[in-house]
Structure formats: structure tokens, C-alpha cells
Amino acid sequence: MDVNVQDTVNLIQNRSGIGKVDVALVLGSGLSSFIDEIEGTSIDYSDLPDFPHAGVSGHAPKLKLATIGGTNIAILGGRMHYYERGEADVMRFPLEVIAGLETTKLILTNAAGSVREAYQPGSLLRISDHLNFSGLNPLIGEETDRRFVALDGAYDAEIGAALDASAAAVGVELPNGVYTWFSGPSFETPAEIRATQVLGGDAVGMSTVPEVILARFLGLRVGAISTITNMGAGMSDENLSHEHTKNMAPIGSAKLAKVLKHYLENYKG
């Protein structure tokens, strides 16, 4: 393990008293309030050397370590995006630290636009696969043969089924679909949204896909959920903006919090 990764792992273990993490969660734009609902040890990203500080409003740049129902969890209150620095592998170090904590499962969340009328703002969509329309890959430059990561089954079927069961148990609808990564930070054009519909996407967003690729590279099993904050460009009269994303995210995030809490409380190994 990289020496800086090990140092950061040690720091987190010493501060929190938690040795091994079972499940890690990454919270997306406007979804960070969940971190404050969980009691545990909070560590600011700025206290973690080499941890990229999420610079986007609507994120909480801190890590929380907690134990829920016997399950050790780590929550990243925010992520850094490709569009902030132009680095597709910007989340590599935090995810290496998560893997260094012996985490086996990673649940990624994000705010996303819907390209299907069936998925309306305020609803949740479990990601079952993705389209990478960015042309980018966080493993470009990786020199070992480990870079040839298989991405079939990238979204773990067992985690997906457990998330679906949790959603059903708390009475939240959780259809599944294909998330489409655009680099951002500009929103898509109406033509790009129409192309996404034709090519099999169900939602569009500016994150998550590079983290899924890195997570599979690091051997983590992945689950992912989008909260739909808006219809894709050209599908409604709404003006798209980050402000709008942040205002709409709490509607879905209340449902997301219920699903995640149930999943974590009932998580069995």
C-alpha cells in the first residue's frame, strides 16, 4: 500500500477507534445532510493529508466513521468531480484509503437528471449499469495490467437486491436504470438528452462513473443510487442550475436516507 494511503488509514483508525469498515457511502450534491443524522467520529477532509477537498456547494467535506447495528461504516460527505480539476482520477486517493480500511462494499449516491418521463424529480433510481459519454477514464496512465478492469457486473447484483429489499421495506419506490456520465460542469444540450434516450440511458449526471471504475480496480463491490432532481435539458420548462439541483435534492434525499438507514441497519456481512 502507498505510504500516504497507509498514513491516512492509520489516522482514521486512531481517531475513530474503528479498525475495519464494512460499508462506505459517498454522498452526492445536496445529499450531505445524511452525514449529520449519523452519530460517530467526524474528520474534516482538510485534516486528511492528500484528501481532495470537495469544492462544490451542497457537499459536506468531511468523513464520518460510525457503527450502526454492528456494521462499521464510513461516510464521505462529498466528492470531488472531474470538472473541478480536469482529473478523472481525482477520487483515487480517497477510494484507496477506503479500500485500505478493508472496506468491501461501496455505495455511491448522486443527484441526476432524468431522461425518462417515468422517473420524475424527487424520485430515486438505482443504477444498474452506466454509459460513459465523457470519453474519460480514471485508469488512463495506470501502468500495471490491473488497468484492464472488467465492468460487466460493476454494479453488484447482491448489493442491488439488498438495496431494493430495503426500499420495499421502507415503502420507497426504487426502479433501476442506466446512468450516463457527462463531464460537466455545463449541463447537457437537448440533443444530448435525446441521444441518451435513444442509446439506452435513463439518467444523466457528472459523477459516480469514474468512482465505479476506480472501485472495481480496487476490488470494492459497488451499489449506486441517483436522486432525480430534474428532467433532462429540453424535457421541461425548468431552467437547469446547480441552485435548482441543491433545492430539489432534499426531496429525494429524505427517501434516500430511509433506504440507506434500513440497508445499513440490516446489513449482514
Residues that bind ligand HPA (CB under 6 A): 111-113, 182, 187-188, 204-206, 229-230, 232, 240, 245
Instruction: List phi, psi (to 5°) of 20.
Output: -125, 130
- In whole angstroms, the minimum distance from the beta carbon of 111 to ligand HPA comes to 4
CB 181 within 8 A of CB 81: no
Pick 111 or 139: Cβ nearer ligand HPA: 111
* Four-residue CA torsion sign, 2, 51, 40, 246: negative
In the bound complex, what is the minimum distance in angstroms from residue 232's beta carbon to ligand HPA? 5
Q: How far is the CB of 161 from ligand HPA (least distance, A)?
A: 26
Q: How far is the CB of 203 from ligand HPA (least distance, A)?
A: 8
Side chain identity at 23, as an amino acid letter? V
Q: Name the residue nearer to ligand HPA (CB basis): 65 or 231.
A: 231
Of 160 and 205, nearer to ligand HPA (C-beta) is 205
User: What grid cell was written down for 70?
Assistant: 454492528
CB atoms near residue 37 (< 10 Å) = 10
Q: How many CA atoms lie within 13 A of 223 on its CB side?
A: 23
Burial 38-75 (b: 16+ CB within 10 A, else e): bebebbebeebeebbebebebbbbbbbbbbbeebbbbb
Q: How far is the CB of 60 from ligand HPA (least distance, A)?
A: 17
Q: Give the nearer residue to ligand HPA in terms of CB position, either 52 or 121.
A: 121
Shortest distance (Å) from residue 34 CB to ligand HPA: 17
For residue 257, what is the DSSP state? H
Between residues 93 and 119, which has the closer beta carbon with respect to ligand HPA? 119
Nearest residue relative to ligand HPA (C-beta) = 113
- Closer of 70 and 185 to ligand HPA (Cβ): 185
Integer angstrom CA distances of residue 51 from 9, 20, 55, 88, 180: 12, 19, 12, 15, 26
